[in-house]
A and B are shown apart, each in its own frame.
Chain A
Amino acid sequence: MIVAVVMGGAAGLVSGLLGVGGGILFVPALTLVLGLSQVRAEATSLLAIIPVALVGAWRQHRYGNVDLRAGTVVGALSAVGVLAGVALANVLPQRALELAFAALALFVASRFLRRYFTARGQAEVPEIPTPRSSAPES
């Protein structure tokens, strides 16, 4: 049980730091530690995500890091996507899709890594101040 609480805390940390729900830690905490089935764990994880996402969004809003209109559009449209996704999951080969998405995630990870090393490379050069209209970034 302590393990589950610690994993919950870690899920919140990842959520606040990286802007995700934290399901990647909630679901294993619920299946491996608390003994729920995969289906019940994923459903239960959704409820746990609500307060985390609300608190994280509220803090980020205070820091000036939330585009509320964009968040509402993305959130509302995703409801449509979920319905389509659940319907498709029942007719498409699940394993092939999982592997395809895993490959896509790795590709996107490589793009983020390239951005990281590009930014680090540029940090060596003395910075030229440029006017910024958006929220301040360090």
Chain B
Amino acid sequence: MASGRTLKLAATGTAAGLFSGLFGVGGGSVIVPLLVLWLGFGERRATGTSLAAIAVIALFATVAQGAYGNIDYTKALLVGVPAVPGALAGTWLQQRVRTETIGLLFALLLIAVSVDLVLQ
């Protein structure tokens, strides 16, 4: 049973990486649905675990992209620094909304992702 779960987690990670490499979409839009709908995680636990996975993914990918010289460090700070209090507010807020509301907002996010991909 435990190894079956590990295999599902491994497949989730591979799928998230695959889609990131193919489309440049973040891993989260793949990881959260798979954790909720396939592995049976609750919404809060899925999003929290997804953030931990994304930290690992982004670290690897940044090193790779940095080697290609594709990163603008000043502009990364410009959007990344204000995002930190945003993340604090977002996680705080998430503990105070209904579980199913997180799923509803996630559905809206996925619709935005698909519109973004179609318009590209």
Contact = CB atoms under 8 A, between A and B. Distances in A.
Interface string A26-50: 1101100010100110111111111
Contact of B42 (A17, A29, A135): A135
A4 B79 CA distance: 6
Interface residues of B, number: 101
Looking at B10, B26, B62, the one whose CB has the most chain A CB atoms below 10 A away is B26
Chain A: interface size category:
35 or more
Interface of chain B: mostly helix, strand, loop or mixed: helix
Interface of chain A: mostly helix, strand, loop or mixed: helix
A30 B50 CA distance: 24
A135 B44 contact: yes
Interface of A: 1, 4-24, 26-27, 29-30, 34, 36, 39-40, 42-57, 59-61, 63, 65-68, 70-89, 92, 94, 97-99, 101-103, 105-106, 108-113, 115-116, 119-120, 134-135, 137-138
